[in-house]
Each structure stands twice: as structure tokens, then as C-alpha cells.
Amino acid sequence: WQLIAPRDPSKPPTVFHWLPIIGSAVGYGNDPLNFFLACREKYGDVFTFILFGRRVTVALGAKGNNFVLGGKSTVLNAEDAYTHLTTPVFGKDVVYDVPNEKFMEQKRFVKVGLSTENLRAYVGMIEDEVEEYMNNDANFRVYGMNDINDWGMFDVVSVLQEITILTASRTLQGKEVRSKLDKTFSQLYNDLDGGFTPLNFLFPNLPLESYRKRDRANVKMTEFYVDIIQKRRQAGADSDHDMIAALIKQTYRDGTPLKDHEIAHILIALLMAGQHTSSATGSWALLHIAENPDVGEALYQEQVKYFGTPDGNLRSMTYEELRELPVLDAVIRETLRLHPPIHSIMRYVRDDVSVPPSLAAPSKDGVFVVPKGHYVLASPSVSQMDPRVWKDAQRFDVSRWTDPDGVAAQAFKAYADENGEKIDYGFGAVSKGTESPYQPFGAGRHRCIGEQFAYLQLGTLISTMIRKVELRLKDPVPAHNYHTMIVMPKKPRNILYRRRKFD
């Protein structure tokens, strides 16, 4: 029918599709990045596509990111977009199950648990966990050879998923979770995770066993955490550096302390928010390091330069030192540029909203209006690989970050200057503003609060691994698998490794 229906010129163009309800679900679901690029060619930076009956208006580029992420939360709303996915997994009364002001307070509480003092304590713990993991042949040698000088092979995602949960539980989640990271906890985690999929996002209420398992796991996981919280409360003063210790002490502005089940649900939310994002980023980083032995060598030499001791060993790092390693920092940034784990950031449109003409407009004097009831979507993946901003945009090129005067960095700087962005070559993302082409951690009021922790976790993990092994890749870096909530490398994703001689 859309062939004959006249188009309302005040609305963004709708992507052509044959099937009324399904719309563009297949193209978007299989490869959102190429879908967006093809649509941009045809329709420009702002267009609407149909996704199983939902109308999703995409706004591309740095200006599109600004439109979606910098919008007022009363108009472009995250709770309405996500709660049906997240509340059954995290539990009630936290995150998108509460009004945004309350969630903002909860984010503030979590920041206490991510204080610099806590982060300092985590470096050594993560180092220990990774070393112990790698020393255990049964873990690390997924397949392959046992002789020290031979090359072995491991599935990078499986290894990274295990290391990520081990390190997150040892640090943020706390010693009780770490010690229970046996079959029971992993089973509950897997059941929750099985309920955190694109299917759950698209169809919140299917009568499937995985949905029932998810609900049972939420109840059990909540009981598990509440038990820990109550024991901690009974024990009195808590000097642990973890999230439970931090959250127990927090009170809302109206004086009410956080309830046990709220703390439990925040811990589940953090577990889910950090697990796939970090394990995916770590996997992509190791794949690129393995593909570029010169990058692996540069990372290793950086370790030797900063941490080498007269007896030829490498000493432990401190948090402050970790933040000052340019090659390591650039590897993580470049990995997140090419593989931001979250390709689509969505908001529900509560009231009609005009698109700024500088982003897109139907004519010189007109404006597009995105109607109430649509979703809006920003995609950092597109702006982070835009050849208009990045030289050799598709190429993994660490030097674009390490060399602020290099051609690639200059291109980004020119863009940033033109748009009033401040480039911060320090630790973490480039810009805190909502209008930036580089936003792997989002922007605005829903911006990630786990960024510093993720850099610390990934930085310590990569350094500890690179100290022990050389990495190589037999095949090219795998393509993206977009069928999971977080973008993962497609199988096979095996990395060859060889222990360093002195090991």
C-alpha cells in the first residue's frame, strides 16, 4: 500500500518494505550496520523503518547521536523502550522499572562503588584471576598442544566470557559471589542471560520455557544476593571494596535507605550490563592483536618499558600506571571504535518531536516531526566508521589514537574543532558531549557508568595475557554476529597462542 499512499512530507521517509508488520526486520536483524548505510544512501541521515509493527526512526551521524542521546527524557524515554526486556531479568524497583529520577539516584550510588579507591584495589585482584586462569591448563588450553613452545588454540569468546565473570565477581560483585561461582551461580546466570535476547526485546510475552526459566532464575538470584546482603548487614562495618559494601550505605534523597531487594537487583543489572559488553570487547581486542603481531609486540614492549625490573621480570601495575599506557589505551579505543558492543540505542517517543533542520529536513523551510509512539534510534557503529570522519575507517589502526598529529587523528580533530568538541586524549572515551562521532559508551543522562571499570578490567586482562603469551590469527578477524543483544564475533573465532619462553 505504501506504493500508492501519499507520503506525509513532515514525517521522515519510511524505508521501503514488502511485508506490512515485519517491515525491515530481516535486513536490520541480520546486519544493522549495512542496513543503515544502505538506507542512508537512499533517504539521508533520518528515516523510519518498521520492526515487527514498531516504527523506528533512525538518526545517523554525530548530529543524530545528539538528537537521540541529548533529548529530554520526558520526551525521548528509555524506560518505555527497555523495561519489558530488562525488568524480568534485573527485577523490580531498579533501572527502567522506576521513574528516571530514581534511577539517576541509583546510578549515583553505583558510582560510589566505582570510586578510584575501589578501582585501585581491583587491579591486583584482576591480575591474580587472569594469571590463575591462564596457569590452569584445563581452562586456557581449549584445544591444542601442551608443549610450552608449541602453538595452541583457544576459542576467544569462551575464554573471555569465563575470565570476565571471574574478574567481575572477584571485584565488583564481591567475595561471596566469587566463591559461589560454581555450577549453581553459573546456571542461574545462564538462565537469566537466556532471557536477555533480541527475541525477548521484540516479543516480551511468549509462552516459552526460556521465559519461565528467566523468571525462576530472577527469583533465585535475588534470594541469593539478599542472603549475602543480610549477612553483611548483621556483621556490621563493611570494609570490602565491592558494590554491596557501597550500596548498603546509600540513602535516597528522601532519606530512605536502599532496600535489600533493590541492592540485589542493581547487582544483577550490573552483572548483565558488564558481562557481554566487556567479554565482547576483550574478544575483539585479542582478535585484532593476534591479527597484527606488531601491535602485540608494541603492547609487550610497553609492559617491559614501564614494568620491567632489573632481574628481568615484570612487576605488577598500579591503577594510575595502567591509565598511562598509550598503546594499551589506543588498542581498547580502536577496538571499541570498530566493534561497539551496542549497535542500537533506542528511546520511546512520548510526544511529537521535531528533528533539528541541521540534522535533516524535508525542505529548506520545513522540519521533520517524529510522531509520538515511534522509537528513535542512534547507532554509534555508523558514526564510528564514517569515512567522512575517519581515514581508512574500516582499518584497525592503533596509531590514529597514539599519534595526535597523525593524519587519521587530524581528520577527527578537524571534525571535533568544527563542531565545538573537546578531544581528550586521556584515559577513556574521547568526548563527554552528546554530539560526537565516537560514542561506544553512549552519552547524556543514560551514559555508561561502567566505562572506567571496563577499561580497567580490559586493560589488566590484556596486559596480563600479553605478558604471558604471543597471539596469532590463522584466518581474518571474523564478521559480526548481530543475532545476540551484544555484537559478538562469528564462529570460528579461534586464536593461536604460544607461551613466552621465560614462562
Which residues lie near ligand HEM (CB under 6 A)? 78, 107, 172, 270, 273-274, 277-278, 281, 341-342, 345, 440-442, 446, 448-450, 453-454
Query: Smallest gap, in angstroms, from Cβ of residue 54 to ligand HEM?
Result: 16
Query: Smallest gap, in angstroms, from Cβ of residue 96 to ligand HEM?
Result: 7
Query: Smallest gap, in angstroms, from Cβ of residue 113 to ligand HEM?
Result: 9
Query: Smallest gap, in angstroms, from Cβ of residue 119 to ligand HEM?
Result: 11
Closer by beta carbon to ligand HEM, 78 or else 298: 78
Q: Is 235 exposed, middle or buried (0-12, 13-18, 19+ CB in 10 A)?
A: exposed
Query: Which residue is closest to ligand HEM by CB?
Result: 450
Query: Smallest gap, in angstroms, from Cβ of residue 322 to ligand HEM?
Result: 16
Number of neighbours of residue 254 by Cβ within 10 angstroms: 6
Closer by beta carbon to ligand HEM, 61 or else 362: 61
Query: Smallest gap, in angstroms, from Cβ of residue 264 to ligand HEM?
Result: 15
Closer by beta carbon to ligand HEM, 17 or else 175: 175
Distance (Å) of CA 472 to CA 29, 227, 441: 31, 45, 29
Query: Smallest gap, in angstroms, from Cβ of residue 233 to ligand HEM?
Result: 23
The CA R_g of the chain, rounded to the nearest whole Å, is 23
Closer by beta carbon to ligand HEM, 43 or else 103: 103
Q: Is 401 exposed, middle or buried (0-12, 13-18, 19+ CB in 10 A)?
A: buried
- Which backbone phi and psi does 287 adopt, to 5 degrees? -65, -45
Query: Smallest gap, in angstroms, from Cβ of residue 422 to ligand HEM?
Result: 20
Closer by beta carbon to ligand HEM, 264 or else 362: 264
d(C-alpha 70, C-alpha 63), whole Å: 10
d(C-alpha 206, C-alpha 52), whole Å: 14
Query: Smallest gap, in angstroms, from Cβ of residue 78 to ligand HEM?
Result: 5
> Is the Cβ–Cβ distance between 100 and 78 less than 8 Å?
yes
d(C-alpha 316, C-alpha 312), whole Å: 13
Report residue 229 as a C-alpha cell: 546482603
d(C-alpha 495, C-alpha 156), whole Å: 6
d(C-alpha 414, C-alpha 335), whole Å: 22
> Is the Cβ–Cβ distance between 284 and 338 less than 8 Å?
yes
> Is the Cβ–Cβ distance between 217 and 192 less than 8 Å?
yes
Closer by beta carbon to ligand HEM, 382 or else 448: 448
Q: List the alpha helices (DSSP H) in 236-325.
A: 243-248, 260-291, 293-307, 319-322
d(C-alpha 109, C-alpha 257), whole Å: 11
Ranges of beta strands (E only) in 333-465 are 345-349, 353-354, 369-370, 375-378
Helix axes 116-135, 156-168, angle to 10 degrees: 130
Query: Smallest gap, in angstroms, from Cβ of residue 459 to ligand HEM?
Result: 11
Closer by beta carbon to ligand HEM, 246 or else 470: 246
d(C-alpha 49, C-alpha 24), whole Å: 6
Report residue 99 as a C-alpha cell: 521513574
d(C-alpha 323, C-alpha 317), whole Å: 10
Closer by beta carbon to ligand HEM, 458 or else 495: 458
Query: Smallest gap, in angstroms, from Cβ of residue 103 to ligand HEM?
Result: 7
Closer by beta carbon to ligand HEM, 14 or else 106: 106
d(C-alpha 88, C-alpha 217), whole Å: 10
d(C-alpha 279, C-alpha 31), whole Å: 21
Number of neighbours of residue 147 by Cβ within 10 angstroms: 10
Closer by beta carbon to ligand HEM, 118 or else 402: 118
> Is the Cβ–Cβ distance between 70 and 431 less than 8 Å?
no
Name the nearest CA neighbour of 263 among 402, 106, 391.
106
Query: Smallest gap, in angstroms, from Cβ of residue 267 to ligand HEM?
Result: 10
Q: Give the single-character DSSP code of 170.
A: I
Query: Smallest gap, in angstroms, from Cβ of residue 348 to ligand HEM?
Result: 11
